[in-house]
Amino acid sequence: MTNSGIQVTEEDITGITADAIVNAANNSLLGGGGVDGAIHRAAGPGLLAECRTLGGCPTGEARITRGYNLLAAWIIHTVGPVWRGGSQEEPELLARCYRSCFSLAREHGIRTIAFPAISTGVYGYPKKEAARIAVREARQALAENGQLATILFACFNSDTRRAYDKALTEP
Ligand code: APR
């Protein structure tokens, strides 16, 4: 098990310089609260205009747009599962979010990518389990994709930061 290429930080994802930052969006892709709201505010109206052309996004899938006023060149929007107790395929859908983002990253030659803790806010996914899935998929992506250099988990509170730090100590 290796964590090289994975970083955890506690900061606002909209201030991060990476090739791509990931947005925890909803199925409409037309903005919302949480990190979705922060990204749309920081990126500016051009982002919403482009999102309107995408026709939404099913849970577990991802769509890519320009970064507009963000430092990142790209924004990858993914829609995580709402936590309903864990027996409605939530783990599989969350894992699929990460894989969908990584496959768009590969297609666009993205070398550095920052993620929020998808689904762990409004969508209520338990932080520990979500962090385990995120770290597992990140390790897999780094092993499979030689052009991917850095995956950064941008935590927005200390509970989330602790969940990721712990997940990184596990095999
Ligand atoms: N930078 C980094 N992380 C952030 C930021 C930010 N600026 N703002 C919030 N977060 C964190 C939250 O603290 C949480 O840990 O992002 C994580 C995901 O929380 P949400 O943004 O609530 O996303 P999610 O749980 O996936 O719910 C998605 O919320 O905002 C709406 O439109 C969105 O309907 C969708 C739903």
Gap from CA of 63 to ligand 1 centroid (Å): 17
Average pLDDT, the chain: 98
Strand 112-115 with 20-25, pairing: parallel
Gap from CA of 74 to ligand 1 centroid (Å): 18
pLDDT tens-digit map of 79-124 = 999 999 999 999 999 999 999 999 999 999 999 999 999 999 999 9
CB-defined site of ligand 1, < 6 Å: 12-14, 24-26, 32-38, 80, 116-123, 154, 156-157, 160
Gap from CA of 78 to ligand 1 centroid (Å): 11
pLDDT tens-digit map of 11-37 = 999 999 999 999 999 999 999 999 999
Task: Indicate yes or no: pTM above 0.85.
Answer: yes
152 touches 7 (CB < 8 A):
yes
Total residue count of the chain as it appears in this document: 171
Q: Would you call 159 a catalytic residue per the annotation? A: no
CATH architecture of residue range(s) 6-169: 3-Layer(aba) Sandwich (3.40)
HEC readout, the chain? CCCCCEEEEECCHHHCCCCEEEEEECCCCCCCCHHHHHHHHHHCHHHHHHHHCCCCCCCCCEEEEECCCCCCCEEEEEECCCCCCCCCCHHHHHHHHHHHHHHHHHHCCCCEEEECCCCCCCCCCCHHHHHHHHHHHHHHHHHHCCCCCEEEEEECCHHHHHHHHHHHHCC
Catalytic residue among 12, 19, 36, 165: 36
Nearest residue (CA) to ligand 1, atom 13? 156
In this prediction, residues 63-72 reach a mean pLDDT of: 98
